Amino acid sequence: MVLGSPHKVVADLPRPAGPPAVPARPVPVELSDRFNAAGILRRIQESVSFSVREGAHELTFRALGTQCRISFLADPQLASAFRTSALHWIANFEAKYSRFWPDSLVSAINRAAGADWTVLDAEADRLFALCHELHFLTRGILDPTALPLIQLWNWKEPRTSLPTDAEIEAARARVGWRRVQRAPGKIRLPEPGMSVDLGGVGKEFAVDQISQLARSFGVRSALVDFGADLRVFGLPADGRPAWHIGLEDPRKPGACWTGLAVRDAAVATSGDYLRRFELNGVSYGHILDVRTGRPVMNGVRAVSVLAPSCTQAGMLSTSIFILGPEEGLRLLDSTIGVAGAIVTESGTFHSRTFHQYATS
């Protein structure tokens, strides 16, 4: 997905919510003294760029393994305080939940697999409860314990061969959220070699949390975009009646195949056309089906979903990508309050309400 400027606006969008009330004293987010959050913040700050364009504050940086952008309208003093708190929140979140950092909580949970319980604070307890809910809602298609398969099929590694059936089955044997043991304030992976990875929900969850943080600081409107998964509220600074979001064409990366006019909603896209590897003329994407232990190869190239929250949009876009166009379209049309499109090798399929938001 790329941000575009489609030329027409849908007239029958829902009315936006009024601007959030400015809190008397916004509560700043302090930098955690745990999980090396200070080190993560320094790395993020090296990539920060900030400007004011058309009355909108524009903050860009790299975090959570992707390019991030926050465009927002706020009074200058509140804007500065919000920027600081947003970067602190993101540094705290990445330091705590990224599997790539050895000091993180997730790394501690994975090291203890087959042995001890790991203590969780209230925030982590809620996040793993969300993982459980997403696993249940997708009937196991989204599985936070899929890391053994992700590592086996690592699309970044040079390859001369594919994983063997035995290797795939061995990795699948270490996958299964239902086996994870959870109790209030603690979690345990019962078997050695099991591991969790929050990459399937973390970025979208972060988008929602930063959007809520912006509201709490009295930000009048904002676009929060982390790696092209985004959420907006209020109206853009240029006076248009909606935020215009371009959907990238997986057949022509860098170009948009259509655009969406979005107000007070989120958009997430799942695709395998960028993160993949090729072997013997066959392309293997990074999105895996835990039911088979293999990359999805059903002809789907990208799925974009508009939903009330980025977490829901991301859950649906990934699930639909795995399910395929026929079952995925049924899921889209049966879910209240969402719209979406499925781009395949042979054509594009829309949900019944997609046309209400499409701008070209």
The CATH code that applies to domain 105-196 is 1.10.3980.10
- Which pair of tokens denotes residue 132? 């459980």
Q: What is the pLDDT of residue 24?
A: 54
- State the DSSP string of 17-69: PPPPPPPSS--PPPPPSSTTHHHHHHHHHTT-EEEEETTEEEEEEEETTEEEE
Cβ–Cβ under 8 Å, residues 196 and 109 = yes
Q: What is the pLDDT of residue 360?
A: 73
Q: What is the pLDDT of residue 14?
A: 34
Q: What is the pLDDT of residue 17?
A: 44
Q: What is the CA radius of gyration of the chain?
A: 20
Q: What is the pLDDT of residue 90?
A: 98
Which H or E run contains 49?
strand 49-53
Cβ–Cβ under 8 Å, residues 201 and 42 = no
- Which pair of tokens denotes residue 62? 């790299």
Write the pLDDT tens digit of every residue in 132-191.
Answer: 999 999 999 999 999 999 999 999 998 999 999 999 999 999 999 999 999 999 999 999
The amino acid present at 59, given as its one-letter code, is L
Cα distance between residue 65 and residue 229, in whole Å: 13
Average pLDDT per 10 consecutive residues for the chain, totaling 360 residues? 33 39 72 96 98 90 97 93 97 98 97 98 96 95 97 92 97 98 98 96 96 96 97 94 95 94 97 92 95 96 98 97 96 96 96 93
Alpha helices in the chain (DSSP H): 37-45, 76-97, 105-111, 122-137, 147-152, 165-172, 202-216, 310-323, 325-334
Q: Hey, is 85 helix, strand or coil? A: helix
Q: What is the pTM of this model?
A: 0.91
Cα distance between residue 151 and residue 179, in whole Å: 20
When the candidates are 3.40.50.261, 3.10.520.10, 3.40.190.10, 1.20.120.530, the CATH number that belongs to 44-97+202-356 is 3.10.520.10
Cβ–Cβ under 8 Å, residues 321 and 287 = yes
Q: What is the pLDDT of residue 4?
A: 36
Cα distance between residue 61 and residue 72, in whole Å: 15
Which part of the chain has CATH 1.10.3980.10? Answer: 105-196
Q: What is the pLDDT of residue 27?
A: 87
